[in-house]
Amino acid sequence: MSLVVYSHDRDVDPGEGQIVVYNQAYFEYLQTEEGSSRGSYDDQARERPRRSSIPDDFFVQGYYQRFFKQVGVVGTGSRAVVYKVKHMLLENDLGTFALKKICIGDDMHWLYRCLKEVKLLNRLTEESSHLITYNHVWLERCPVESLILTQDDGSPANLDIPTTMPYMFILQQFCCGGNLDDVIQYQVFNKISGKETRLERKKKLMNAKKLRKGLTTYQIVSIAKDINTGLRQLHSLRIIHRDLKPSNCLLLEQFDPTDTKNFPKCVIGDFGESQLYGQLRDATGSTGTLEFVAPELTTGAQFSFKSDIYAFGMILYFVIFGQLPFGSKDMSVIKREINQLSLNPDSMRDLHESLDLVPVHPALFDLVCEMLNHTPSLRPDLASISYRLDTILESVTTSINNENTQKNSENKHKVGFASLYALQIAVTLTVLNHSDWHWWKYTVIFITGLAYNHNRNNSAGNRNLLIILIASVLISAISIW
């Protein structure tokens, strides 16, 4: 018999000889109770003595129910569920927060392990403007939320399942814009999530045909600068994130598809897998999402600041293209593709053009390629990335200003021509109205000028000529009478 973990929001059928458990922490707790071995963790946790249970005076029973109102589910993971909650006191709304609820098992070892994230969050200061902020943590015993299925022969599993389990509650900043992964996939590139109504799906398909997909250089640079600032703040505290990916980049505001210059502020969250620099950890376990794992980690190297840079580069690739450079969903195949991945700016430009995306500054492709270099030492540091992003932004701004200046110059030239032409017509009219020419012969002059300016897309000149034309016709008609 084996135990297999699945997220509780998925419908799955157990395989032969398997029990499906819908909670990773609870699953690992059951493994401990059965005497199963666990993977390696940090040295301090490994050396701590085990206790059979967490002391009762550690718990604050009823605190969540008394002071919080659950609004909805923000997200679910293998070890926790994140809720949107309102902090209430005497029926007064004290603010909206994100509440991470983790089943830790009745084991001090797991309590120490989960407190690691809280300790890291506590190191973040108010100056860490691009990192999720931490507010409070407490423990409560809650009803078990895991679901255990029977064995493959239909008989119940012989497991002593308690009715309540210790849960850790971590109260932190709520980001109303959701996460970068969902926004890029479902709002920027209009992919179908399966949660849309029929009308919403139809609207998405219609918009996909009308609008050009992708973000502008301004928006991509905005995302990159926010993540870069967050990583610099994190690394300055000697913390390696280890699980940097779009779903862990949270937006403080809602994304506006009509605004092509701005993008909501992005902050980095989820420090459950983070570690202090120099702390030895198992680099090839289940930590992180494989698609964002640097190549050296697949061969046993330790996590480093440079491995965070690689993940950052893969995020930018995803933001630019709306997809990752891997063709398979099989983990073993993806691992091979990671080690074989070879990108160059020219191939990225060709792919970008073939997808008919919103044009972006080509220097972005060069930067991403450098960040995804297989040799960690050749990846740029965060200070260099910041400088490159500023240079790209300055280049785009200068280019747009030059275009606007040129257009204004052309418009002035066109208006000047229209005014000169109108003056010439006025003089010509004065002469012709005292001759034997008929009015319809010289109105052709005005129509010619009008057509000329129309072709040059100069509305101001067209209006001037139109006024002169109408006035000329009236003057000609009066002179004939």
Catalytic machinery residues: 243
The Cα 17–Cα 3 span in angstroms is 9
Question: Cα dihedral sign for 109, 112, 116, 117?
Answer: positive
The Cα 137–Cα 389 span in angstroms is 37
φ, ψ for residue 268 (rounded to 5)?
-95, 135
Torsion-angle region of 153 (φ positive above 0: left; ψ -120 to 50: alpha; else: beta): alpha
Question: Which of 267, 283, 183 has the alpha carbon at shortest distance from 230?
Answer: 267
The Cα 318–Cα 475 span in angstroms is 66
Question: Which of 464, 467, 472 has the alpha carbon at shortest distance from 427?
Answer: 472
Give the C-alpha distances (Å, rounded to integers) separating 410 from 398, 420, 458, 461: 18, 15, 9, 12
Cβ contacts of 4 within 8 Å, gap of 6 or more: 14, 15, 18, 19, 20, 21
Torsion-angle region of 35 (φ positive above 0: left; ψ -120 to 50: alpha; else: beta): left
Contact 90, 186 (CB under 8 A): no
In sequence order, what are the beta bridge partners of 103? 167
The Cα 366–Cα 361 span in angstroms is 10
| Residue 338: Cβ-neighbour burial (10 angstroms; 0-12, 13-18, 19+) | buried
The Cα 292–Cα 256 span in angstroms is 27
Q: Count Cβ neighbours within 10 Å for each residue of 32-55 and write b for 16 or more, e otherwise.
A: beeeeeeeeebeeeeeeeeeeebe
What letter does residue 150 receive in the DSSP assignment? P
Give the dihedral of Cα atoms 241, 242, 244, 247; nearest 10 deg: -100
Residue 406: other Cβ atoms inside 10 A: 10
